[in-house]
């Protein structure tokens, strides 16, 4: 007689594994902070977002960087509650579907996918800029750095970077602990070096446009207009994007009670100190003028360190190139996993064609979804690069908008999902209701305000198509594309959209037990 059965993974696993399939109890406080900092990738976010933010808010950059953390914190608290109640690969997609039904859920998932696709194309572009910059620094030939402005060559190199990261991700290869420690330590060291060198120049009177720091820089109310304020905040949401990874850690930490909270606190302190130091150093050294090295110069917006690291750090500028190239390349590879898994999850729940749910038998990674993510990122880059004069600047602004959208939807999903529990205890009231409600409202206001403002052709880099601002076209175009695909999907595969796959749930305890739809 034959006996055939599949042993459940829990009983046949080799060691103590958490629900997430991660080795339980393997991450201490320092490890968790390293993970947090690596997900934020401060060297990359600063070089990409510092210029565009200054162009919106001027010297109030430090104030906006501080204010931008507040909605991120509020939403992340709600995100953590949802993650604990319904751990799911679809995250925003699944949670919004459970709370608001299939249509809003689908768009929440689309927002997350779009944000990660946009950041992929931007990461690849930044990596390429610094790749050529480093090449020129290594070979001592400044002409090489200009190769990145050669459009066909730039596009070709970027596509190679995207393809390479896709291939690594498809093969299921991951950055190891040792590499991550080195990358993070190197980034922080080089950023610190940059700040110290900039202040030394200011002290010696060799700075480009030495500007004295005043308390006004820290006053968010000194920002000229509400439009500039929202634009600045939606950009600074982007610089904290990734921080919430520390809050959602659980069994993989050595002390699940204390480590995540402490790690989140230490990470945000480290990041705020770095951001403040770099913001003050950059503004004191270069000022916000629109000439030469000034941070307000439109030519310097897409990548501030590419311009300033040479004058500030001298021959050691190559370290900055290496730090940004390595951190953006590592982020490029790990970020591929996210849209792939969200699409996999949507395929799994039949919100996308089932092909998206395919897993490679050899590498055990999402196969179809990973390739689709790469094609989408490549297409997005080619389109923005060929239509916008300053593609990186516009994509970062559109990205800020997209993060506001899906984070806002997620926060509202948290409020609605837990509505029955909201007033049962002070803790539930704060974490499941008040914090996500405030965060969600702030982000959605940011989203709508940025969306309407960006219709102005002068918005962002000033690129426009048919008299409408490029940022609006990118942001709304992506959302509209999502609506179109959603409607097509609802026609060809209606089960999900009839609510038959992921049922709406309230916050009744029994409903929380049922994590997955029956397949």
Partner 1 sequence: MRYVVGYSANARGYDAVNLAVALARGHNASIDLVLVLPEGSPFSGIYPPQAGYDEILDQQAAEWLDEGLAMIPDDVQARAHIRRGDSEASVLIDAVADLGADLLVIGATSSGLFRRFTVGSVAGSLLHSAAVPVALAPQGYHRTDPITRYSCGIGTRPGAQNLLTFAVALSAVKETPLRLVSLLTLDGENEEDAVNAATVRAADAMAATVSGVHAPIPEIVVARGRTIEESVDRLDWEDGEVLLIGSSRLAQNRSIFLGSTANRILRSLPVPMIVVPRDYVPEGTSQTSANDPSGEAGQS
Q: Does 387 bind partner 1 (CB under 8 A)?
A: no
Interface segment toward partner 1; rule CB under 8 A; list 245-253, 258-266, 287-295, 506-514: 245-253
Unique residue bearing structure tokens 């370290």: 319
Unique residue bearing structure tokens 């509202």: 412
Q: Comparing C-alpha atoms, which of 518, 502, 496, 173 is closest to residue 360?
A: 173
Q: Does 434 bind partner 1 (CB under 8 A)?
A: no
**Under DSSP, is residue 287 helix (H, G, I), strand (E, B) or coil?**
coil
In the complex, what is the shortest distance from the CB of residue 222 to partner 1, in angstroms, rounded to a whole number? 33
Q: Does 149 bind partner 1 (CB under 8 A)?
A: no
Q: In this chain, which of 56, 252, 394, 421 binds partner 1, going by CB under 8 A?
A: 252
Query: Is the separation of the CB atoms in 497 and 102 below 8 Å?
Result: yes
Q: In this chain, which of 64, 249, 280, 312 binds partner 1, going by CB under 8 A?
A: 249
Give strand ranges (E) for 343-469.
464-465, 468-469
Query: Is the separation of the CB atoms in 52 and 204 below 8 Å?
Result: no
Q: Comparing C-alpha atoms, which of 519, 102, 93 is closest to residue 343?
A: 93
Q: Does 83 bind partner 1 (CB under 8 A)?
A: yes
In the complex, what is the shortest distance from the CB of residue 45 to partner 1, in angstroms, rounded to a whole number? 12
Q: Does 337 bind partner 1 (CB under 8 A)?
A: yes
Rounded to 10°, the helix 92-100/337-348 angle is: 40
In the complex, what is the shortest distance from the CB of residue 175 to partner 1, in angstroms, rounded to a whole number? 6
Q: Does 491 bind partner 1 (CB under 8 A)?
A: no
Give dist(CA 9, CA 53) in Å, integer. Answer: 48
Q: Does 512 bind partner 1 (CB under 8 A)?
A: no
Q: Does 513 bind partner 1 (CB under 8 A)?
A: no
Instruction: Provide the b/e sequence for 180-217 (b: ≥16 CB within 10 Å).
Output: beebbebbbebbebbbebbbebbeeeebbbebeeeeeb
Largest CA distance in the chain: 88
Query: Is the separation of the CB atoms in 59 and 283 below 8 Å?
Result: yes
Q: Which is nearer to partner 1, 338 or 450 (CB)?
A: 338
Interface segment toward partner 1; rule CB under 8 A; list 1-9, 313-321, 466-474, 503-511: 1-9
Q: Which is nearer to partner 1, 175 or 227 (CB)?
A: 175
Q: In this chain, which of 60, 342, 384, 450 binds partner 1, going by CB under 8 A?
A: 342
Site string for partner 1, 171-210 (x = CB under 8 A): -x-xxxx--x------------------------------
Query: Is the separation of the CB atoms in 191 and 274 below 8 Å?
Result: yes
For residue 378, what are its two tokens? Answer: 């490549």
Residues that bind partner 1 (CB under 8 A): 1-9, 12-14, 17, 19-23, 26-27, 31, 34-35, 38-39, 83, 86-92, 94, 112, 172, 174-177, 180, 241-242, 244-245, 248-250, 252, 330-331, 334-335, 337-338, 341-342, 344-345, 348, 357, 359, 361-362, 364-365, 515-516, 519
């Amino acid at each position: 007689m034959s006996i055939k059965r599949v042993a459940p993974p829990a009983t046949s696993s080799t060691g103590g594994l958490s629900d997430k399939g991660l080795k339980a109890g393997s991450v201490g406080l320092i490890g968790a902070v390293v993970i947090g900092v690596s997900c934020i990738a401060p060297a990359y976010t600063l070089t990409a977002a510092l210029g565009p933010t200054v162009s919106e808010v001027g010297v109030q950059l430090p104030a906006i960087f501080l204010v931008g953390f507040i909605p991120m914190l509020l939403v992340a608290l709600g995100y953590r509650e949802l993650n604990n109640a319904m751990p799911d690969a679809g995250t925003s997609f699944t949670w919004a579907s459970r709370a608001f039904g299939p249509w809003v859920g689908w768009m929440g998932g689309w927002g997350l996918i779009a944000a990660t696709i946009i950041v992929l194309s931007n990461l690849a572009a930044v990596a390429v800029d610094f790749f050529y910059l480093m090449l020129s620094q290594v070979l001592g030939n400044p002409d090489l750095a200009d190769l990145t402005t050669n459009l066909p060559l730039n596009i070709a190199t970027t596509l190679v970077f995207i393809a390479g990261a896709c291939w690594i991700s498809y093969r299921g290869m991951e950055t190891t602990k040792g590499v991550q420690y080195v990358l993070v330590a190197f980034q922080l060291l080089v950023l610190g070096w940059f700040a110290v060198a900039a202040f030394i120049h200011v002290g010696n009177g060799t700075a480009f446009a030495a500007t004295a720091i005043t308390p006004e820089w820290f006053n968010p109310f000194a920002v000229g207009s509400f439009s500039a304020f929202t634009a600045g905040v939606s950009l600074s949401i982007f610089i904290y994007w990734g921080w919430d990874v520390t809050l959602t850690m659980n069994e993989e930490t050595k002390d699940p009670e204390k480590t995540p909270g402490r790690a989140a606190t230490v990470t945000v302190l480290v990041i705020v100190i770095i951001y403040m130091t770099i913001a003050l150093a950059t503004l004191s050294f270069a000022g916000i003028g629109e000439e030469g090295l000034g941070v307000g110069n439109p030519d310097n917006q897409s990548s501030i360190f590419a311009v300033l690291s040479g004058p500030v750090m001298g021959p050691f500028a190559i370290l900055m190139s290496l730090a940004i190239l390595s951190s953006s390349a590592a982020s490029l590879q790990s970020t591929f996993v996210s849209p792939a898994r969200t699409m996999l999850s949507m395929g799994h729940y039949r919100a996308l064609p089932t092909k998206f749910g395919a897993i490679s038998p050899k590498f055990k990674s999402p196969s179809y979804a990973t390739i689709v993510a790469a094609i989408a990122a490549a297409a997005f880059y080619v389109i923005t690069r060929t239509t916008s004069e300053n593609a990186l600047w516009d994509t970062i602004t559109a990205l800020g908008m997209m993060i506001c959208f899906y984070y806002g939807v997620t926060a509202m999903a948290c409020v609605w999902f837990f509505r029955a529990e909201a007033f049962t205890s002070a803790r539930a009231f704060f974490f499941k209701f008040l914090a996500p409600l405030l965060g969600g409202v702030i982000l959605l206001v940011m989203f709508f305000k940025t969306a309407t403002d960006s219709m102005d052709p002068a918005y962002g880099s000033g690129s426009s198509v048919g008299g409408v601002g490029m940022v609006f076209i990118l942001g709304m175009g992506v959302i509209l594309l999502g609506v179109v695909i959603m409607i097509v999907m609802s026609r060809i595969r209606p089960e999900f959209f009839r609510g038959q796959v992921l049922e709406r749930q309230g916050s009744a305890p029994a409903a929380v037990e049922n994590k997955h739809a029956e397949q």
